[in-house]
Amino acid sequence: MMNLVFGRLSRRSLVLALGAVALASTVSGAAAQSTIKWLHLEANPDRLATWQEIAANYEAEHPDVKIEFQFLENEAFKAKLPTLLQSNDAPSMFYTWGGGVLKAQTETGAIRDITKAMDADNGAWRNAVSPAAVDGLSIDGKVWAAPVQSGLVSFFYNKALFEQAGVDAAGIKTWTDFTAAVQKLKDAGITPIAGGGGDKWPIHFFWSYLAMRELGKDGFDTAKSGEGFQGEGFVKASQMLADLGAMEPFQEGYLGATWPDTQAVFADGRAAMVLSFENTATPQNQANAATDGKGLAEDAIGRFAFPLVEGGAGLITDDFGGLNGWVVTTNAPPETEDFIHYLTVENAGLLAEKNNILPTALGSDASVKDPSLADSAAQMAKATWHQNYLDQDLGPNVGRVVNDMSVELVSGQISPEDALQQIQDAFSMEM
């Protein structure tokens, strides 16, 4: 368990900074109890057990606080949360993927920003968390969710197939290096990439990263702030994706492949690479995805970062992937921020070790035990920019068009200019 920043006294000062005052009960002289209602969608009993352990420890240190767990299944969570937030039974804290949905929630008055809590004690909480993660959950200079974990999309590869084709993964530094590796794999009779065109969002990973590598953070932020997605950099990125598709790098039938299909193609050894989440190489996910229930051996899988684009403004330390945090509702007990800090910072090492996640607290990457995650954690610890999935960051309407256009680009069904026009049209409607 980590104790990165606050001891008990510092945590109490954080609560005081928020205006929290312990209320004395008028009944029988007993202390009144604050109840923090924790709404989550975690169905994994092992992960939930870790949370329960942390909550029990917090309650033991704070007898006047009770943590109440509330569960909703993923789709029910998304459907019911807007109504729940406006009711008298709103949770105190709930899970967020950030992006457009979080921004919309900030405009309802149902949630409160936690900037004061992050900056209390000379910024002790803020300084204990990856700046890229804090920035990713901030809107207009205010922090609207406490980062807890991040994800990293990168290439995972089959070491044996790379060796068979004479491809050195360590030598893939640029997009030109990458496309050369794709061609070498094809020449060796090996399908280079497992693709999931049926679900569409797996292909948006390619378009997003290419745009990030071409424009860099400043260029990308300028586009999102209102300039739009039709500039030269986006045209170049779109053309690179179209050119990749023209190489026919994916498995036969990839346009109809779901994400489970795609994972199985890689896990079975039917493709040499997959652009995927940080947990692709974990033994459990391999077994679940593979046709034989076993998948590739852990030491048979390698990983490399999405390559740079020659002449682009992006950095190799600019990351793309999920970003998750905890939101505090407007009428939540004042102790809620203190508990979230306890959960996400002081216990970040425990979450990393037991729950196999990539926490956003600085230094917590050292507690990641799974070797397949540790490499991703080490890269994320150096992140200069973390871009959330665009179908989250841009909101569901624009994100859906990005997903659609990514597939149409890679399959040669649309020109870069026409694809960007459709993205821009959807974006303009949201402005």
As a whole number of angstroms, the distance between CA 397 and CA 377 comes to 31
Tell me, what's the pLDDT at 184? 98
Judged against a pLDDT cut of 60, whether residue 21 lies above it is answered with no
Distance CA 133, CA 138 (A): 9
Across residues 379-386, what is the average pLDDT?
Answer: 86
Which residue type does 64 have? D
Q: Which regions of 4-54 does DSSP assign to beta strands (E)?
A: 34-40
pLDDT value at position 283?
A: 66
Residue 24, pLDDT above cutoff 60 = no
Of 321 and 27, more confident:
321
Residues 345-373: pLDDT tens digits?
A: 999 999 988 888 888 999 887 888 777 77
Read off the pLDDT of residues 274-313 as tens digits, 9 standing for 90 and up.
999 887 777 667 888 899 999 999 889 999 999 999 999 9
- CA dist 100 → 113, 148, 203, 389, 394 (Å): 16, 18, 20, 11, 5
Residue 14 has pLDDT above 50, yes or no: no
- Reported as a pLDDT band with limits 50, 70 and 90, residue 32 is low
pLDDT of residue 57: 98
How many helices and strands (H and E) does the chain possess?
A: 18, 13
Q: Look at residues 40, 41, 146 and name the one whose alpha carbon lies nearest to residue 102.
A: 146
For the segment 40-64, what is each residue's pLDDT rounded down to a tens digit? 999 889 999 999 999 999 999 999 9
Mean pLDDT of the chain: 90
CB-based contact 361:344 (threshold 8 Å):
yes
Q: Read off the pLDDT of each residue in 139-153 and give the average, rounded to a whole number.
A: 94
Indicate whether 422 pLDDT > 90.
yes
Give the closest residue to 162 by CA, choosing from 145, 180, 181. 181
Q: Give the model's confidence band at 5: pLDDT under 50 very low, under 70 low, under 90 confident, else very high.
A: very low
Beta strands 93-96 and 34-40, pairing class? parallel
pTM (predicted TM-score): 0.81
Looking at residue 392, its pLDDT comes to 85
Q: How far apart are the C-alpha atoms of 393 and 407, rounded to whole Å?
A: 19
Domains and CATH numbers, the chain: 8-151+322-387 (3.40.190.10), 154-319+394-430 (3.40.190.10)
Torsion angles phi and psi, residue 281, rounded to 5: -90, 0
Contact 132, 318 (CB under 8 A): no
What does the pLDDT read at residue 367? 85
* Parallel/antiparallel/unpaired status of strands 138-139 and 142-143: antiparallel
What residue type is assigned to position 16 of the chain? Answer: L
DSSP string, 47-81: HHHHHHHHHHHHHHH-TTEEEEEEE--HHHHHHHH
